Amino acid sequence: MRRAFGYAVLLVGAVCYLGPFVIQLVTTFKTDADAVANPLSLVPDPFSTASYERVATDPSVEVPRWLANSVLVTLCVTFGRLLVDAMAGYALARLRWPGRKLVFSGVLALAAVPAVVLLIPKFLLLRQFSMYNSYLGMILPLITDAIGIFLLKQAFEQVPREVEEAARIDGAGVVRTWWNVVLPMVRPALATLAVLAFQNSWNEFAHFLVSTSDSRYETLTLGLARLVSGALGEGQQLPLKLTIALVSTIPVAVVFLLAQRHFIRNQLGGAVKG
């Protein structure tokens, strides 16, 4: 009896956490009038795929372009971060070079700067360097990732030193030792970082808002946010907006389901000695 009550409470909790997504999904198949009149109903009446047709073809919302921009930026940021962080992390963990300690302290200090504080400063810099309104200006600042360097440095430190020494004795140089021997051994950390970078750059909004003004560069998040905030009036094109929101949620949902253990490991890894 007590146990059944416990499960009932837990199910209500799960409904609170997943319910909004269910309502979102159902509403994307409603007409505008139905969405406003019956916000809670789980059966669209009439059933309509109009918002999906508009997402695919309507030139006024440009979802295909937003999607392409999101994909491009996300791929570049994810691979860029993996490469840059793996190089810097290795240098900090295993190579001995003058200034290493200083650089590491610098990385830690810069990691503490809150992202939102950097918004206006990044805009000023991109304008100064003529990178405002360019893919370069959207991508490079997002590749910059002190935390990723820190995480991979920790991972490289777990690799037994003997492995590297054996490779060196076999005549492998630093680059080959790193690429062929050490990098494969930190694959789990790389996977975690990749998932994190993907989620982070796919969901990014504020940086694109301050690094572009031209609608050619709009990503899903930016295009959707401008669409919604431009017409705040209640009940206007709700199914369309929710459909675009759904399109931007699906990729992270898929990655989440496929790579759940990496999401969770990232928390386990980052947490927590206190």
Partner 1 sequence: MTAEENVTNAALVTSGETNATLGTQRRRGRWGRGSAGSGRTGAGVSAKRGEAVAGWLFAAPGIALLATFVLLPMLLALWVSVLDWDGTYSPLSGRAPVVGLDNYAALLTEDGLARRDFALSVRNTFYFVVISVPVQTALALGLAMVVHNRTLRGRGFFRAAFYFPSVTSAVAISVVFLFLFSGSGAINAVLGFFGIDGPTWFADPRGVVHELLGALGLVDPSAPPEWLSGTRLWGLTLWEWLSGPSVAMSAVTLLMIWTTSGNFMLIFLAALQNLPEDVLEAADVDGTTRWQRLTKVTVPMLMPTVFVVLTMGLIGSWQVFDQIYVMGQGNPAKTTLTPAYLSYQRSFAEGSYGLGAAIAFLLFAIIVVLTWAQRRLLRDGRTS
Q: Tell which one of 50, 72, 125, 185 touches partner 1 (CB under 8 A).
A: 125
Binders of partner 1 in range 149-208 (CB under 8 A): 149-151, 154, 157, 161, 165, 174-175, 178, 196, 199-200, 202-203, 205-206
Please, which residues have CB within 8 angstroms of residue 30's CB and are 6 or more apart in sequence?
38, 44, 45, 48, 239
Q: How far is the CB of 33 from partner 1 (least distance, A)?
A: 12
Q: Tell which one of 12, 33, 39, 231 touches partner 1 (CB under 8 A).
A: 39
Give whichever of 176 and 216 is closer to partner 1, judged by the CB atom: 176
Site residue total, partner 1 (CB under 8 A):
111
Question: 197 is written with which tokens?
Answer: 């970078």
Determine contact, residues 252/202, Cβ cutoff 8 Å. Answer: yes
Determine contact, residues 212/132, Cβ cutoff 8 Å. Answer: yes
* The one-letter amino acid at 271: A
Q: Tell which one of 147, 172, 181, 185 touches partner 1 (CB under 8 A).
A: 147
Q: Tell which one of 51, 69, 78, 221 touches partner 1 (CB under 8 A).
A: 221
Question: 10 is written with which tokens?
Answer: 């837990």
Determine contact, residues 77/139, Cβ cutoff 8 Å. Answer: yes
52 binds partner 1 (CB under 8 A): no
228 binds partner 1 (CB under 8 A): yes
Report the distance separating Cα 82 and Cα 149, nearest Å. Answer: 9
Binders of partner 1 in range 2-21 (CB under 8 A): 7, 10, 13-14, 16-18, 20-21
Residue 193: name the closest of 273, 113, 270 by CA: 270
Q: Tell which one of 12, 43, 56, 111 touches partner 1 (CB under 8 A).
A: 111
